[in-house]
Amino acid sequence: MATLAQFDLMREITLAGLPLPVTVRPATPLTDDELMLFSRRNQGYRIERNAEGELEIMSPSGGDGSRWESRVIRDLDVWAEQNGGASFSSNGGFHLPDGSVLSPDAAWISEARWNALSKDERSRFPPLCPDFLIEILSASDSRAVLEKKMLAWIANGAQLAWMIDPYASTMSIYRPGRMPELLERPDSVEADEVVPGFRLSTRLLWDE
Digit-coded pLDDT (tens) for 22-39: 888 887 888 999 899 888
What is the structure's pLDDT at 6? 40
What is the structure's pLDDT at 103? 95
Instruction: Report the distance separating Cα 203 and Cα 46, nearest Å.
Output: 27
What is the structure's pLDDT at 38? 86
In 83-112, which positions are buried (b, 16+ CB within 10 angstroms) versus exposed (e)?
eebbbbbbebbbbbeeebbbbbbbbbbbee
Tell me which residues of the chain have a pLDDT lower than 50.
1-9, 11
Instruction: Report the distance separating Cα 165 and Cα 3, nearest Å.
Output: 31
